[in-house]
Amino acid sequence: MTVVRAVHGVRPVEPDPDDELALADDLRRSKSREEILQLAALHALGEDEPAARMRRAAWRALSRRFGHGVRIGRGAIASHLETFEIGDGVFIGEQAFIQGRTEGCCIIGDHAWIGPQSYLDARDLIIGEYVGWGPGARALGSQHTGRPAEIPIIQTDLEIKRTNIGPWVDIGVNSVILPGVTIGKGAIVGAGAVVTRDVEPFSIVAGVPAKFLRWREGHEKR
């Protein structure tokens, strides 16, 4: 086994350059929402810094709040950015999809790391600071009531429930967090787990459905 130092979690955040902030302000003043989204799509797959800069500027122009030092991977998509608050030093991986909702709430805390190909139902989602979100992991925020049973389920009303991921949490690759779940500070969710109920702070859960395995070292209950 080889141990190497962490990178993202200890990376210092430098203020974004003034010209990039000015670009976002100009987009906000002079372009419609649809035009800004078209610009973001035009540069969505670019590998160079000018393309990454335009992605950041477009997201910043549309977001409720957008921090410094944010990195947006190629092919990452977000809807209803006007409901987003994105903290400093956030990483959003390639092909991640963050699905917001009109009048919804999506908060991504400082230094969070959202892995490639993740799916976040961000209709009412809070992700705390220094959260590690494994590639392909999913957060769900709504479900159909299924009532009445005389019509297709997809035609029944949606129940939107807040999904709350506490600070310092680590979410394993390809895990699924169901609507309304709260995961406490510093908890670990194992790869491929399906989390159906709240997880206590500094605990480790895994499995389908996810079950408590043990406390993290130094946080054992006495």
pLDDT at 103: 84
- Note the pLDDT tens digit of each residue in 151-164: 999 999 999 999 99
Q: Over 70: is that where the pLDDT of 93 sits?
A: yes
pTM: 0.94
Contacts 24+ apart (CB under 8 A), 123-129: 123/99, 123/160, 124/160, 124/161, 124/162, 124/163, 125/162, 125/163, 125/164, 125/165, 126/162, 126/163, 126/164, 126/165, 127/165, 128/165, 128/166, 128/167, 128/168, 128/169, 128/185, 129/87, 129/167, 129/168
> Per the residue annotation, which of 8, 68, 111, 144 is the catalytic one?
144
- Note the pLDDT tens digit of each residue in 32-49: 999 999 999 999 999 999
Q: Over 70: is that where the pLDDT of 222 sits?
A: no
Query: pLDDT-derived band of residue 63, with 50, 70 and 90 as boundaries?
Result: very high
And the tokens for 18?
Answer: 């003034």
Whether 219 sits among the annotated catalytic residues: the reply is no
Mean pLDDT of 112-139: 97
- Note the pLDDT tens digit of each residue in 166-220: 999 999 999 999 999 999 999 999 999 999 999 999 999 999 999 999 999 988 8
